[in-house]
Structure 1
Amino acid sequence: MRRKAIFLTHPQLLRSEITGGVQLCSQEFHHIIENISELSLADYYVPYTRNIMQRVMMKLGMENYSMYDVKKDAPALLSYVEKENIEIVFLNMASVVRYAKPLKERFGDKVKVIMLSHGNHSGDFLHLITKPLTKQSALRRTLNKIRLGWLIATEAIHRVSYLDGVVTLSETEKQIENWFGGKRVEFLPRRLYADFLPYTPVAGRVGFVGRLDHPPNLQGVSILFDALQKMDHSKLEIRIVGAPDNYGQQLQSKYPFIKYLGELPDKTLEEEIKTWAVLLNPVWWYSTGASTKLARAISWGVPIISTTAGMRGYEWKQGSLIVADTPEEMARQLIINAPDPEKVQHWAAQTRIIANNGPEVESLGNQIRSLYK
């Protein structure tokens, strides 16, 4: 008999016209789990909180895993788990971790609770403290340090007391989860697949796609552009895709050699990307999770330039990307490779080799299975 499981998530993470890294990772986790033959998987949706106090705390920048109203949602969730004889609950993203407490307090070992982590909040928040986008007051800096302590304490308490296992997006994250006290922790390499675009590159055209209000993204491209503007970049055409619009417009004003295209739905985005000679993945820090959008970029079969940090969470048997670990080296590699049609075709072929040499869905499912057996 198949074991019943639920995938607990916000509905937007599985259904969205515009697919970002979080949506891609959620859909990837879902695909792997639904292909575990012994499981019968159902989706269970939870809404973002409408609790006034929680929303005020988020507005004040003091959110502590409080995006969901767990107290309000828990009775219906517990009733569903009991009525449907659910044996395994997969929590999609660390942000829903607080649902683990009522589940374990009610069902104990009868229900396994596995968190599918996209990255712990304290890691990204530490980045904001050490590399803020804007100057902060002494009060804000003090409140940030208090919040960081709350986040770490919440993360550790739930790993020790309420989670049976954690799936991470990188080997680095696995060690952090072990440090938090996770009972069982598995690093799940990103699933790679081939969905190649009809590639028609424009010589010298370079592009970036990602959320621009995510500090590592914004700072990542800005650091690269600072290096690039000191060199002869006349043969390059830089194009940026992402939201919010005001961040994109600010980048375009600061760096006149780039063109901001706004946020694009998937089909329009693919029409754009199939003309790029090189796709950018300028990740300079080991922030939480992994560059989940890199898997999508590899599936398109276009040339990619990345840092070593930007490739964390990935494993493949053959093929290579262009790798540059300083802004100056990345700028030089762009100037050398992007305008040259032969080099562009070479690196496109390498990306397509990678797409066909990633981990198998079955082996990834076996890793998840080890957490609830």
Structure 2
Amino acid sequence: MDFLASLASLAPLASQAPGHTDPGTGGGSKRAQLVTLPRELIIEIAKLLEADPDAKVSPLSLVNRTLRDLSIPSLFRTMQLTTAEDDLLEHIDDIHGNRAILDCVFILGIYSEGSSTFRTPYQNVFLGYGENCKRGTAAILADLIFDIPHLTDLRLDLRFKANTSLIGPLRRTFKQQYMSFHVITALSFPMKTDIKFIPEVFPNLTALSLELHKAPDMTPDLAYISQHLQLEYLELWKARWGPGDFVGIPTLFPNIKSLTIGGMIALGSRLGTLPSLSIATAYRESVIQSISNTLRQLPNLRVLAISNESFCNRQTRNVKAFDRSCRIRDKLARSDAWTAHRGERLDDAWKFFNSLPDLEVVYIMDQSYNAHCFVPVKNQAGRVVDAQVATTEQQTPWPVV
């Protein structure tokens, strides 16, 4: 693909050569002007793009008008919008009704931040202090989603006070207008309550990502969803997970083949003072074993992505001693840096493979979903004997569109 990269370099040169413009670009424009290319060359470029779906086409869109049109399906197959909530309507208006773009979108992701007077315990981008969205934004957003014919994966990440200003109104719009999205099979939705509408609005989901306040079996709406959707991919985020919080997952979603657990897990020691290495290791192993025993009830589980960010349960009245032990633990973790952290992740992955031999891939990640991918090492008899960092492409914990 070096040829395409060389061709893309024509874009800055075109801005310096006013005589070489594409018809209709406007010679007086201050924008980078487009060059004219032979039709035969454009056809050959199109063949190269078709042969390599992963080619980066955005530079080509700056070279030639025809190449720009050819680039649209690749450029907008995945559309990600990151904006302050009060600017969301303006961004929607820019693309609403543009069939050339909307007909190419298969994945739509929207990250917005509203009023910052309230924050959820999550990893936020923080776009600056903003206000809630304008009135009517939710209805127009619903129309936009409905207007994308090939939309398969919808990822909504609406932060801060969006529950009142955007999420609630969007849910009501779906229900009031009897909207149903049969093409969408993967959904990420930030609501923690009132999610019973999901099976009616998205009846063909096989992948679902939710945030929880409580354990899955303590979230009534999850039971309703599990009765109406046949999920294969499940992603659950909760601020803090205890070993007992996993118990309801096999009961609610027995057929899932991929499970992602985000947040923090009680892998730290119960002691109020800094524990010895042997005590801390033994406790960590017991927690992972407890989680594995629960997940063993999922016969189809092949991919597990789980956070190894830990928190400590304070089991002492000596608050100063507890806080001091946590500070020391954090300093030690930072000083160990990359090597020890990676070693700990590999060790955790091995424990899961050892307890769940049918697993094919384990992702160990932090709260921001930065992960290492691990695969099992098996002997000639097919028994898992070790784990290693994956060196080839593996199954992902979320469906690839």
Same structural fold, with TM-score higher than 0.5 when normalized by the shorter chain = no
TM-score (norm 2): 0.34
Answer 1 or 2: which has greater helix percent: 1
Q: Bigger relative contact order, structure 1 or 2, given CA contacts below 8 A and separation 6+?
A: 1
